[in-house]
Every structure is written in C-alpha cells, then in structure tokens.
Structure 1
Amino acid sequence: MKILVTGYNGQLGYDVVHEGRKHDLEMVGSTIEDLNITSADEVTKYIHDLRPEAIIHCAAYTAVDRAEEDREIAWDVNVNGTKYLAEAAKSIGAKFIYISTDYVYEGIGDQPYTEDSKISPQSYYGLTKYEGEQVVQNLLADSFIVRISWVFGINGNNFIKTMLRLAETHNELKVVSDQIGSPTYTHDLAKLLIDMVQTNKFGVYQVTNDGYCSWADFAKKIFEVAGCSVKVEGITSEEYPTLAVRPKNSRMSKQKLIANGFEPLPHWEKALTHYINELKQEVQNGR
C-alpha cells in the first residue's frame, strides 16, 4: 500500500512515516519543500504523479495564537490546502485521513465530548480545523476525521521539551491548572493511524492517550519521571492570558474508537515514561 503523509517534518507526520515502514508499507513523507498544499495545481500534479492509495494529512497551520492575526495564511493552509488534497484524493480514489483537534469544541464543562457533541470553536485556529473537517466530509465518503489533543513526539517542539528546558534554569514554575485534557503521544497515535488506514471503518474519531490531567499535573509528572527537582504552582487561565482562547475542557470520549474495534492508546503516564526514555536515548546517540 502506498501512503502519502503530509507534514513529514512535524511530530506526527514523522512518526507515521516511520511506523508505516515497519509494516512494509510504501510511505512517502512530504514537507512544504516537496509540496505546497496551498497551490491547487501543484497538489493535483503531485497526487496524480504519485498516485497514493491513501493520504494521511498531518500538515497544518498549528500556531494557535498567531492564527488570530495571520488569518489568511491559517485559512489557506488548514482549509484550502485540505480542500485541494481531498479533491485530488477523490480524483484517484484514495482514502483520506484528516487530523483535527479538540479546539473544534467550546471547551467548557467537565464531561468528555463525543464525536457528535456540538461544534463551537472559540479560536480562529479551531474554526479553520473544523472547516477543514467539513471540506473532507463533503468531498469524500472514504475518509477518516481524527481529533487529537496535546500532542508530543520526538521530532519537533512540544510542552514536555519546553518543561525540561525550563527545568535547567528554574526551581519553580507556574503552570495553568484549570485546562483539562489528554496528552497524545505521536508514537502511539501513529500505530493506530496505520491500522486505521488499512480498514474501511470510515468516520469521525477521537484519539488521545488514556486518562485526563491538567497542564500543571502534566508538568509535575514530567519532572517526576525525568528526575527534575522543580516545584509546580498551578495558576488559572486568566493569570496566563493568551491571544487565542484555550479550551478549559479538552476531555474527549474514545468510545467510538473502541466500538469499531480499534485498540485504544495506553495511559498518558505510561506514554510519558516511554517518551522520556526515548529522549534520553536520543541524547545518548548524540542526536
């Protein structure tokens, strides 16, 4: 099976390509240097020349705060780019996986959102990602929408790497404690996406590692696992203002995933331990 993965230089795209190769699948990872997804003509030619049997669309404009100001660019990447890829996939009969986000929801309350919960993005980033979902669903019957949150992986920057870097110069840190969600380890998610793309169980799914925590709880566990002596003080979202509104409730139910026979991801604490060990291995290997 030949699979194109956009956003190969990102956290998820990188792991998806490498996971697929473990399964002897023909994986093609593209970056902006290979393919400008905001050019309809370039996308059409690239897809028709490559003729993948599936596209896993990981590329996105993910700078949540900057998207509030760079609206045209965010829309061009997340909506137009997705549209061009979905149209090209349709023209050659390729399956399509679109990576979405918890930001499509309003982000209030304390109950887990289901795939059918009301959509009400509170940020421009969230709006563009939902519009991308709509484009895919309107164009393609053979598609998967996969909503994820709080991503961390070996290739690129993330919350864990930021915390470990700050631990080198800080004994105490203030971290938001009223935003609750689930971390998502790209190593675990990549395995599921590779399994999913080889099925015809199309639809909207929510995929994160198991369990919930706040960012402050996450930070405390990071320092515990990494052996860092850093005190974490929980603060409110209001005490740490950002340009874009962050969801306070990012809990997402994984019942549809389980009901369709997919294996849920391990608990986030187990994923974190695996990831910290992976980071240490990278350091030992001089990477």
Structure 2
Amino acid sequence: MKIMIIGSEGMLGHDLVDVLSAENEISTTTIDTLDITDIDKTIKTVKNNNPDVLVHAAAFTDVDGAESNPDLAYKVNAIGTRNVAVACREADCAMIYICTDYVFDGTNTKPYYEYNQTKPLGVYGKTKHTGEVYIRDILNKFYIVRTSWLYGYHGPNFVATMLNLAKTNDTISVVNDQIGSPTYTVDLANAIAHLIKRPAYGIYHVTNSEHCTWYDFAKEIFKQSNIEVDVKPVSTEEFPRPAPRPKYSVLENYNWKMEGYPKIRSYKEALSDYLKLL
C-alpha cells in the first residue's frame, strides 16, 4: 500500500517509518515540510501523495504547555486534525489518528473501554478529543488509536528521564497515584501495521498490557537496568503541574481483542527490549 505519515520526525513517527516501510511504499511530512494548520496546503500535499492510508502522528503534545498556550494547542490538535481529515476525504484515503488516554478524566477504577464516556480534564485532552470529533464527522474510513505513556528511541520520554536523573541523584521522587500502561512506540507501530491491513474501522485502544504507577514504572526501569537508586513515592499534590492528569487511565484494548488481534505484550517485556538497545 501507499502510506503517508504526517509527523514522521516524532518519536512514534520514526518507528512508523521503520515498521511500515517493510511492506509498503512510504511518503512522509515533518513540521518543516507541512503546516497542517493550513488547510489548502494540507489538501494539496495529501492529494499529491495520493496514499491509500494516511497516519496522522503530528500533534501539540506539550501537556503543560497547552494550558498556557491553548490557542496553539487547539489550532494544531483540533483544526489541524480537521484539515487532515478533509484532505483524506478529498483524496479518498483511510486515516489513522493517534489519540490519547487524556480524553478520559481518570475517575474510573477499572480499565476504560472504547465505548466509555470521554471527559477530558485539560486543554491537551480537550483539543485531542475535538480532533476525534472532527474525524468522526468528516470521514467514514478511519481508525482512532488511543494510546498512553509512550516511550521510544527518538524522543524525550520517562525512561530516558529516569536513567539521566539516576546519573546525578541518589534519591528520585516519583508520583505514585497515577496509574496507566507504559507503551513502547515500536509495539504501537507494529499494532498499526496490523490495523491497516483490514478495513475494520473505528476506535481502538492500543497499549502494552499490564499497568502500573509512575513510581512502579521507575522501580522496574532501575531493576532491569541494575541501577541502585532510592525511589521515593510522592502524591500528585506533592508534585504540582500546570495541567491536570487523569489519576487512572488504563485503556482496555477491547476492540483490538474483539477483532482477533494477538494480545500486545506486557510493558515489562517491551521495556526490556528498549533498554537492550540503548
């Protein structure tokens, strides 16, 4: 297939290029080559590439920065996504939209299914959710892929931050009351490679299996890395940030399972592979 990847310079974008290029013809754009907030240029670029499937992996992902710059977050995540959706309609191609666990408010105590009520707390979650709404209004060939707690080789992430902090700190404080599923971008890219092979359109939750707190995740990172460091659990209130975080945002990969796709491996197994290649 001909696949176009918007946001190929990002952490997930890099892995999408690597994974999808094995069996498909790939075209890419970056923040420097396509401004998705320009609807005319977006339509023209997509129609020129004429893909069978477009993966929209570009976003304003600075969760705290979105609180202080809501207009830019909205312009990129909502209007930009609408523009990409319109371009996909014009080019008659399917669209994959990378979305987030932040569309939920985190008040659940059990994993969120695709059909659960969305209720984003902050600007980032609200703008990403608005992108979902635009896609559902404009297109009938789409996969909305919600994921969480991403880490990979090609961008700043929690694992890299922890390893860097351990070089200069004997004690590291990590939040212990936010629960989610750390997800390796290579595994997410492989899952997307499965999805695009069939027109089973809709909303999918795609994360590595099992869940933990950020504190648990930090402990696992240091355990697998054989690093001795004192990890201190703290509450969200003790570590204030501009944007509200969902306290519980574990995503049940329900549609994935119902479509018969293989269970995605544990975040612990994925972490092991990631650490081996650092």
Q: TM-score by structure 1 length?
A: 0.95
Q: Who is 1:282 aligned against?
A: none
Matches of 2:249 and 2:173 in 1, distance apart? 20
Give the 3-state SS of the residue equivalent to 2:74 in structure 1: helix
CA distance in 2, matches of 1:109, 1:55: 33
Q: Does 1:118 align with 2:133?
A: no
Gap regions ≥5 residues in structure 2: none
User: What letter matches 1:19 in structure 2?
Assistant: V
Residue aligning to 1:7? 7
The match for 1:283 is: none
In 2: Cα distance, 1:168 partner to 1:29 partner: 36
Q: How many Å separate the matches in 1 of 2:171 and 2:80?
A: 42
CA distance in 2, matches of 1:117, 1:85: 26
**Coordinate RMSD, CA, aligned:** 0.8
- Residue 20 of structure 2 corresponds to 20
Distance 2:17 2:258 in 1: 26
Measured in 2, the distance between the counterparts of 1:109 and 1:44 equals 39
Q: Distance in 1 between matches of 2:123 and 2:37?
A: 18
User: In 2, Cα distance between the equivalents of 1:263 and 1:58?
Assistant: 23
Query: Is 1:36 aligned with 2:32?
Result: no
- Report what 1:222 is aligned to: 221
Task: Output the CA distance in 2 between the equivalents of 1:57 and 1:105.
Answer: 21
Hey, what's the Cα distance between the residues in 1 that align with 2:198 and 2:62? 32
Inter-partner Cα distance in structure 1 for 2:251 and 2:46: 33
Shift of 1:263: 2.0
Helix, strand or coil: the match of 1:5? strand
- Asked if the contact 1:148–1:184 (Cα under 8 Å) also holds between the matched residues in 2, the reply is yes
Offset, 1:156? 0.7
CA distance in structure 2 between the partners assigned to 1:260 and 1:232 by the alignment:
40
Residue type at the aligned position of 2:240? P
Please tell me whether the aligned partners of residues 192 and 263 of structure 1 are also in contact (alpha carbons under 8 angstroms): no
Q: Give the SS at the match of 1:173.
A: strand
Q: Quote how far apart the aligned CAs of 1:94 are.
A: 0.3
Aligned to 2:233: 234
Aligned match of 2:247: 248
- Give the stretch that moved more between structures: 97-106 or 259-268: 259-268
Q: Whole-Å Cα distance in 1 between the matches of residues 232 and 261 of structure 2?
A: 37
How is 1:163-242 mapped onto 2 (pairs within 5 angstroms)? 163-242=162-241
Structure 1 unaligned segments of length 5 or more: list them.
Answer: 280-287
After superposition, the C-alpha distances for 1:169-190 in whole angstroms (9 at most, x for unaligned) are 0111110000000001010110
Q: What residue in structure 2 maps to residue 271 of structure 1? A: 270
Hey, what's the Cα distance between the residues in 2 that align with 1:167 and 1:30? Answer: 36
Q: Which amino acid aligns with 2:143?
A: F
Task: Judge conservation of contact 1:37–1:85 (CA < 8 Å) in 2.
Answer: yes
* Residues in 1 aligned to 2:132 and 2:6: alpha-carbon distance in whole angstroms: 16
Tell me the residue number matched to 1:285: none
- Given residue 36 of structure 1, which amino acid in structure 2 is its aligned partner? D
Structure 2 equivalent of residue 109 of structure 1: 108
- Structure 2 match to 1:138: 137
CA displacement at 1:262 relative to structure 2? 1.8
Letter paired with 2:243? A
Q: What is the rounded CA distance, in whole Å, between the counterparts of 1:269 and 1:254 in structure 2?
A: 17
Partners of 1:126 and 1:201 lie apart in 2 by 25
| Matched AA of 1:15 | D
Shift of 1:140: 0.7
Q: Percent identity?
A: 39
TM-score (norm 2): 0.98
Query: Counterpart of 2:261 in structure 1: which amino acid?
Result: F
Q: Could you say which residue in structure 1 is the equivalent of 2:70?
A: 71
Q: What code does the residue aligned with 2:14 have?
A: Y
**Residues 155-214 of structure 1: CA distance to partner in whole angstroms, max 9, x if unpaired?**
011000000000100111110000000001010110110111121000001010000100
Aligned length: 278
